[in-house]
A and B are shown apart, each in its own frame.
Chain A
Amino acid sequence: MLPTLEQIKMRLEAAVRGARVEIIPNDSPSGQRSLLADREHAFAVAKFLRADPELRLDYCSNATGVDWPEMEIPEKIKVKQTVAGVEKEVEQIRKTRRPGFLEVVYHLYAMEKKHGPVILRVRTENRADRVQVPSLTPIWRSCEFQEREIYDLYGITFDGHPDLRRILMWDGFQDHPMRKDYAAPDDYEYEPTPHDEVLERAKRHYSKRGAAGIE
């Protein structure tokens, strides 16, 4: 049987020195919770998950990226206020800003022991310039194309990947289309004879040509 995530977390923290592992809850009926590992130790954590005799997660089924842009999380809090000499509890909405980051999610199974999934997550520092995470391709070959795809569509850089190139988009392409703030290029050119509105768009398009990945 697969140990619980709490047990795995304890064993991980004992085995990999300095690793900070967090359990991410999941409220949906699927109940698939996941482990969040810190960037510096993610490779060692993954190595442990694969090598541990009780876990033996030898099969990385799915690797994918998720984009979490910066957002404000509203939170209701109760504050004591003195209104006209009487102390009262008043509800206020406090907004906390969560900085944006990109996330890689790995679904791990064990082929021999036939258990799983253990879900491993690794996050980048931000969405702009610090987007490196360690590549797990040296541990699981199945990540090779999937990490290339994440690099292509999300712009996460995998340190230690043997052949990190774009895989689905063409080489000269600039942007990362799966990001939430990606703006699709102006597709005026599908109109064979531009006129009126489309002509206006075509003009605007020509003025900023090259901006959206079109040369």
Chain B
Amino acid sequence: MAAEGELLEVAMGPQHPSTHGVFRMDVVLDGERVVKLKPVFGYLHRNHEKIAESTTYLGSMPYTDRLDYFCSLTNNWAYALAVEKLAGLQVPERAEYIRVITAELTRLQNHCCLIGFLLQDMGALGTPLMYAFREREKILDLFEALTGARMMCNYMRFGGCRVDLPEGWVQEAKQVADEFPRFLDEFERLLRENEILMARTQGIGTLPKELAVNAGVTGPMLRASGVNYDIRKVDRYGIYDRFDLKVPLGDHGDVFDRYMIRVLEMRESVKILQRALNDLPPGPIIDPKAKLRGFRPKPGEAYGRIEAPKGELGFYLISGGSPNPYRYRVRPPSLINLTILEDMCLGQLVADAVIILGSVDIVLGEVDR
């Protein structure tokens, strides 16, 4: 035990359940207060970018599934979007609708899992997480019916999607979307008025607006700090200009805000989902000009980005005119959101550092690439 006034160094992770994967926080503690925290990464590093530079453009599509393995469909979309910008491909309307539907379903399952994990970190062992996973399961069943895989979907193609929706899928998806608010109500009743949850999350890990912008924090975490920046609304990529999208904003930027923002975002996603499923037009699902084999974009470069559930997911590609990209770069939201982890944790209790990390929402497959 450390004596009075002595500092204690603790390596939290890489095999620590609170770190959501193989991630390490080197924490220096004064009693129970954090005085220094250095995140350490690289345990899952496989140099995804190098692998992608030595394979064809399409060949790295399945690899993008493995970045943020919770949200393979949004990863696919971000990559497809960047390549479409690079090659100038047009996506047919039906494919755009399918992309929105799958992306919003992905957002739903990511956020509800995250909340489950966050509560687990707070000590609500098992039950809330299982409730969240029960809902996630329904969405994963939809993904399986559509793409053949529950998590590694590999579904989008440059200029469209791989396969059309199977028969009856829209009905099932509608049912899932309609039933989802009931789960949210139930979850909120369980937790929102829970005193322990309030005490553990309010005023913890506050992230000021200016710092959030300067540190390039994106996604729900940025909006919890009160910055109105949702790429679905700023860039209006795909067909997001057709949906009336409200962007929920937080006031304090603490863990509670980050938790509530995700609940509110799920409600918005359900609305988008219902609209998109109703308006889904018939038609082709892939640009007839898109080439699957022998795909060689003209020399040049492009940066495409989307609002993934965790933040801004961007792909930066440089083409040298050959079948594989000269430069392939993933802008990982999880890694960049961790930049200010130390700032948020300083002066907090070590038990709260766990919750703060949980509220950032990281997936190590994306942090380490």
Contact = CB atoms under 8 A, between A and B. Distances in A.
Partners in one complex: yes
Interface of A: 26-30, 32, 58-62, 64, 66, 105, 107, 111, 114, 117, 119, 140-146, 153, 166-170, 177-178
Interface of B: 41-42, 45, 47, 49-50, 85-88, 211, 213-218, 227, 229, 234, 297-303, 305, 312, 314, 316, 318-319, 327, 329, 331, 335-336, 338-340, 368-369
Contact of B297 (A28, A64, A107): A28
- Chain B contact residues: helix, strand, loop or mixed: mixed
A146 B234 CA distance: 24
Given A64-B329, A141-B340, A26 B300 contact: yes
Contact of B314 (A62, A141, A166, A178): A62
20 contacts: A27-B299, A27-B300, A28-B85, A29-B298, A30-B302, A59-B213, A62-B303, A62-B331, A66-B318, A111-B227, A111-B229, A114-B234, A141-B339, A142-B215, A142-B216, A142-B336, A145-B335, A146-B336, A167-B41, A168-B45
Given A29-B86, A30-B300, A61-B216, 12 more contacts: A28-B298, A28-B319, A30-B88, A32-B85, A60-B216, A61-B312, A66-B318, A66-B327, A141-B211, A145-B338, A169-B45, A177-B50
The residue in A28, A105, A119, A169 that gathers the most chain B C-beta atoms within 10 A of its C-beta is A28
Contacts, number: 110
Contacts of A141: 211, 214-216, 339-340
Contacts of B47: 153, 168, 177-178
Nearest to B338: A145
Contacts of B340: 141
A78 B135 CA distance: 69
A120 to B, nearest CB: 12
B254 to A, nearest CB: 20
Contact of B42 (A26, A30, A62, A168): A168
B298 A107 contact: no
B83 to A, nearest CB: 10
Contacts of A117: 303
Contact of A27 (B213, B298, B305, B312): B298
Contacts of B213: 58-59, 111
Nearest to B368: A168
A29 B216 contact: no
A105 B319 contact: no
B314 A107 contact: yes
Contacts of B302: 28, 30, 32
B214 A142 contact: yes
Contact of B301 (A28, A59, A145, A178): A28
Contact of A28 (B229, B300, B327): B300
Pick the 10 closest A-B CB pairs, nearest first: A28-B300, A142-B216, A29-B88, A30-B302, A141-B215, A30-B85, A62-B331, A168-B42, A168-B45, A64-B329
A54 B45 CA distance: 40
Contacts of A105: 316
Contact of A29 (B41, B87, B229, B312): B87
A171 to B, nearest CB: 10
Contact of A145 (B86, B300, B339): B339
Contacts of B339: 141-142, 144-145
B300 to A, nearest CB: 2
Contacts of A167: 41-42
A56 to B, nearest CB: 11
Nearest to B89: A29
A59 B42 contact: no
Given A66-B327, A167-B42, A178-B50, A26 B314 contact: no
Contacts of B229: 111, 114
Contacts of A153: 47, 49
Contacts of B329: 62, 64
Nearest to A163: B38
A58 B300 contact: no
A178 B50 CA distance: 6
Nearest to B44: A168
Contact of B336 (A28, A29, A145): A145
A77 to B, nearest CB: 21
Contacts of A166: 42
Contacts of B49: 153, 178
A114 B232 CA distance: 12
A27 B299 CA distance: 7
A111 B47 CA distance: 30
